[in-house]
Amino acid sequence: MTDSPLPSLIDAETQLDALLCRPSDALVEFMRGLDGDLMILGIAGKMGVSLGQLAVSAIGAAGVTKQIIGVARFSNPAAREQLETSGVKTIRCDLLDRESVSALPKVRNVLFMAGRKFGTAGDESLTWAMNTIVPANVADHFRDSNIVAFSTGCVYPLARVGEAPSENAAPAPVGEYAQSCLGRERVFEYASKAWGTAVCLYRLNYAIDLRYGVLHDIADRIWRGEPVDNGSGAFNMIWQGDANQQALQCLGHCSSPARVINVTGPETLSTEEVANELGELLGKPVRFSSTPSERSYLSNSTKATELFGRPSVSAQQLIRWQAHWTKIGGRSLGKPTHFEVNDGTY
């Protein structure tokens, strides 16, 4: 039913969106047993819309009645309309406003996706506010909920290939963005210890959607004849559909004290090797603009693989999909990942 074969290539945005929102059998079974409704905070971002739609699809396939509520400022009305059409109830809210947060309905399950990364340089105070004050508002109001808090592998120290940090590694964030993300985690950890809130810290490294992501950035540069910045010599990635499936299932792994789960693919990929493979598929020459660093943002996702199984889409499949998407002029969100940044400046 849900675990049907993957397409060899993706030719249209409707096909891409449908695939992102297709629940696995494991997710359907999980949602069937999940107690209570679900709220997604910060749902209007790159991953949130497809996450909300995936949750609706999984509930429908499970044959249960459960409300999915999406909360954001909704500066893009199209995202709100898309969510409402798919069955997500939306609420406009500025999560920096404590009174507005306190007016939100309390639900059993919360996925926290709000945060700020790009634009940090020059406006560090806003990044810190979004990444620490907003979590404080949310943690206080939803202290009796299960909370999956999205975070990032950037809280770890830069690592060599073969030495990717597991969840037991001590954080050592580089730059104010990553430092503020650790601040976000610490706020939720405090709530978990002080109030017994069940929390899962979801440390994600590079979701792939074809319209954005590391592969998109590399393929786009090659296609336009521009050099690829290989300053970061290696990276991890995961299909956004798999990342969202795991995010929902992390609701079953919230605990007090807070639990940490690294979410990414099992493969560690060489930037230069991936670029050369994309160049062959695109029929374009590949040039590089940097000297690769020995250390990159990497994560060990062994625990996630043990809990959820291997991602349904392999790195090789994603590379083939991305090359084809780029060749046919598939839409881009115009939001570079800046995966090549190793100094923490965004």
Query: Is residue 276 included in any domain, yes or no?
Result: no
- For residues 34-46, give the mean pLDDT: 96
Query: Is residue 318 included in any domain, yes or no?
Result: no
Query: Is residue 320 included in any domain, yes or no?
Result: no
How confident is residue 59, by pLDDT bands cut at 50, 70 and 90? very high
Whichever domain contains 29, its CATH number is 3.40.50.720
Query: Is residue 227 included in any domain, yes or no?
Result: no
Containing structural domain, residue 60 = 13-208+237-265+297-311
Look at residue 346 in the predicted model and tell me its pLDDT: 65
Condensed to tens digits (0 to 9), the pLDDT of residues 220-263 reads 999 999 999 999 999 999 999 999 999 999 999 999 999 999 99
Q: How many CB atoms lie within 10 A of CB 334?
A: 8
How confident is residue 1, by pLDDT bands cut at 50, 70 and 90? very low
Q: What is the mean pLDDT of the chain?
A: 95
- CA dist., res. 45 & res. 72, Å (int): 9
CA 245 from centroid of its chain's CA atoms: 11
Look at residue 178 in the predicted model and tell me its pLDDT: 93
**Cβ-Cβ contacts under 8 Å for 265 (sequence gap 6 or more):** 236, 237, 238, 239, 242, 301, 311, 314, 315
Query: Is residue 219 included in any domain, yes or no?
Result: no
pLDDT above 90 covers what percent of the chain?
90
Residue type, 197: T
Query: Is residue 231 included in any domain, yes or no?
Result: no
Residue type, 221: R
pTM check: above 0.75: yes
Query: Is residue 224 included in any domain, yes or no?
Result: no
Query: Is residue 85 included in any domain, yes or no?
Result: yes
- CA dist., res. 156 & res. 209, Å (int): 24
The total domain count for the chain is 1
